[in-house]
Amino acid sequence: MQLSENSSTHVSSETETAAAQAAIQADETTRVYFDGDSIDVRAGDVALIEEQARRFLAGPGGTLIVSGHANPVSEPQEAVDLSMNRTHAVAVLLERFGVQSHRIVRVSHGANAPLADQTDEQANWANRCVEIRHGGLVPRQPVWSQRSRKTAPRR
């Protein structure tokens, strides 16, 4: 009896440790930075995106939240479009590395949610990014799984 209580406690502590590590990983945000008006992911950031996809696929599931930012420009819609195109570029790479598209939540902030409020070049650089973070949300289901399947009787 004593042995089973100890093994039960050991399994419980391993489970708690795994849950704590998952919580730490869920809070981590990865940023992919872009040059000027570019939507091209730099070669060095592709490995970073692949690592995020690998960690996500090894984890408990949920969603990946991909949020695009842009520095302020004369036309607000231009910043929103630019950040959405950057978000799409990162999401396409995540899909290429095995993440299902319905598990990726794409958000485009444009210049509406700056990461740095100053207007110097360093702040502009900080705002030209896409953030990738693990979300605990339940992903939306693909359309085909929401339909009830009607099967015709065989003749």
Is 108 within 8 Å of 91 (Cβ atoms)?
Answer: no
CB contact at 8 A, 129 and 143: no
Task: Retrieve residue 61's tokens.
Answer: 């599931």
Please write the tens of the pLDDT for every residue from 62-110.
899 999 988 887 788 888 899 999 999 999 999 999 999 999 999 988 8
Per DSSP, 14 falls in state H
Tokens matching residue 93? 């790479």
pLDDT digits (tens, 9 = 90+) for 107-132: 988 877 777 776 777 777 788 889 99
Question: Which amino acid makes up residue 116?
Answer: A
* Phi, psi angle pair for 108, to nearest 5°: -120, 110
Which amino acid would we find at residue 57?
A: L
3-state secondary structure of 151: coil
Q: For 118, left (φ over 0), alpha (ψ -120 to 50), or beta?
A: beta
pLDDT computed for residue 121 by the predictor:
75
Q: Are 63 and 104 in contact (CB under 8 A)?
A: yes
Record: fold of 29-139: 60s Ribosomal Protein L30; Chain: A; (3.30.1330)
